[in-house]
Amino acid sequence: MKSRQNQAAGELHRAIEQIGALSDLLRAAAGSMGSMQERLDRAEARASRVDELEGELRRLSNEVHTDQLTQVANRRGLIQAFGIEQAKAEREATRVALALLDIDNFKKLNDTLGHQTGDEALKYLASTVRLALRQQDTLARYGGEEFVVLMPDTPIEEAQQALTRLQRQLTEQFFMHEEHKVFVTFSAGVTLF
């Protein structure tokens, strides 16, 4: 009987040792899981920061290529868009129509109704033209009251017709400044690249 008791005591002692070892393993695993969770939290925080920085970079890039007043491409945006369209035209053996639009009597408008009204005229022209263009066309503010339109893969006759339609559309519309109807018109020229 004593041998059975010794045997049972030995088994109990081994079981206690195994439970102790298992307990040590569980504590180590819990510590490791905590460490892994901390690393995961830090990685998620870094990923979130990277996303935030990428968004900021996109916003700044957009600002660098966009005219803040009219919200169309600025000169930098125009140069970038032209580079893309030029490469595409050369690759596909097509042409790009380039149109220069200049608002008529803009200085007189500014002098008579003020610079704020001049700014409104620029925004009005930009929004009207942008809505009338095709999706693949690019409108850019070149300077002051001058705008450039890039029309990829467009014969010169179609580009001229598009400009004529825009001129007619603008003569049929106006915006109000105080109690004055303000008509915005432009002169334009077009060429092929």
CA 128 to CA 82: how far, in whole Å?
A: 22
Tokens standing for residue 115: 């610079």
Catalytic pick from 145, 146, 157, 158? 145
pLDDT at position 60 is 53
The DSSP string of 113-138 is: H-HHHHHHHHHHHHHHHHHHS-TT-E
pLDDT at position 170 is 86
> Residue 165, Cβ neighbours under 10 Å: how many?
11
pLDDT at position 29 is 76
Quote the radius of gyration of the chain (alpha carbons, Å): 35
pLDDT at position 158 is 94
CA 186 to CA 122: how far, in whole Å?
A: 11
The phi, psi pair for 145, rounded to 5°, reads -110, 20
Global pTM reads 0.67
Q: Has 11 been annotated as catalytic?
A: no
In which residue are the tokens 């700014």 written? 119
pLDDT at position 12 is 66
Least Cα distance to 144 among 164, 121, 177 occurs for: 121
What tens-digit pLDDT sequence spans the chain (193 residues)? 667 767 766 776 776 777 777 777 777 777 777 777 777 777 677 767 666 656 665 665 556 889 999 999 999 999 999 999 999 999 999 999 999 999 999 999 889 888 998 999 999 999 999 998 999 999 999 989 999 999 999 999 999 999 999 999 888 887 777 887 888 989 999 999 8
